[in-house]
């Protein structure tokens, strides 16, 4: 595991543990010394327990001034605010695995330019938006990828929609 990978996972893990145990958070001093973590970037933080998704929250465009702060906020949200799951408990902390996907800027594209192993997808129709990260288990075709993203957005089969693609740098334990 590279130093950057360790630092990124450490920020996510420490943010969740500090928040759940103390209801407080602060960015690791390590993060302040790594220039990559001082850049303004969007990210998704996913939590897994026993190999199963336990929470995943992210941003398509960065909301915070630094990637370190973006990771921290998204990690806490993934642990406590993902509507699909109950909040992570203190007893679960030891069995949680973390991954962080840092996103490139989404670019408008068409179906022919998609590859679910290489690109994540963002679909939009008026105010509805759906996102799916790349290289997910069980998502092998562009049709599956778009179908899931459209379903997440609530976009009907007959609705017109725009497609954006993005790449990720994936960091995990």
> What are the chain's domains?
3-103 (3.30.700.20), 107-167 (3.30.1490.150)
Tokens of 115: 């590859």
Residue 29 has pLDDT above 70, yes or no: no
Phi, psi at 93, each rounded to 5°:
-55, -40
Note whether 98 and 173 are within 8 A (CB): yes
What CA–CA distance (Å, rounded) separates 150 from 131? 8
Confidence of residue 167 (pLDDT cuts 50, 70, 90): very high
What does each C-alpha distance from 57 to 20, 72, 114, 129, 159 come to in angstroms? 16, 11, 23, 14, 26
What CA–CA distance (Å, rounded) separates 103 from 59? 9
Quote the pTM value. Answer: 0.90
Q: Locate all alpha helices (DSSP H) within 3-141, ordered by sequence.
A: 3-22, 29-32, 67-80
Q: What percent of the chain has pLDDT over 90?
A: 88
């Amino acid at each position: 595991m590279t130093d950057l990978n360790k630092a990124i996972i450490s920020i996510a893990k420490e943010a969740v543990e500090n928040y759940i145990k103390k209801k407080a958070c602060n960015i690791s001093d390590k993060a302040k010394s790594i220039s990559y973590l001082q850049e303004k970037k969007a990210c998704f933080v996913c939590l897994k327990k026993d190999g199963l998704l336990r929470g995943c929250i992210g941003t398509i465009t960065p909301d915070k001034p630094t990637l370190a702060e973006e990771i921290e906020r998204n990690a806490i949200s993934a642990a406590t605010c993902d509507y699909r799951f109950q909040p992570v408990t203190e007893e679960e902390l030891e069995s949680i695995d973390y991954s962080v996907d840092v996103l490139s800027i989404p670019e408008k594209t068409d179906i022919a330019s998609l590859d679910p192993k290489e690109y994540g997808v963002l679909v939009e129709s008026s105010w509805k938006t759906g996102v799916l990260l790349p290289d997910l288990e069980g998502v092998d075709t562009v049709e599956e990828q778009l179908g899931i993203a459209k379903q997440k957005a609530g976009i009907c089969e007959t609705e017109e929609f725009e497609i954006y693609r993005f790449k990720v740098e994936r960091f995990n334990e």
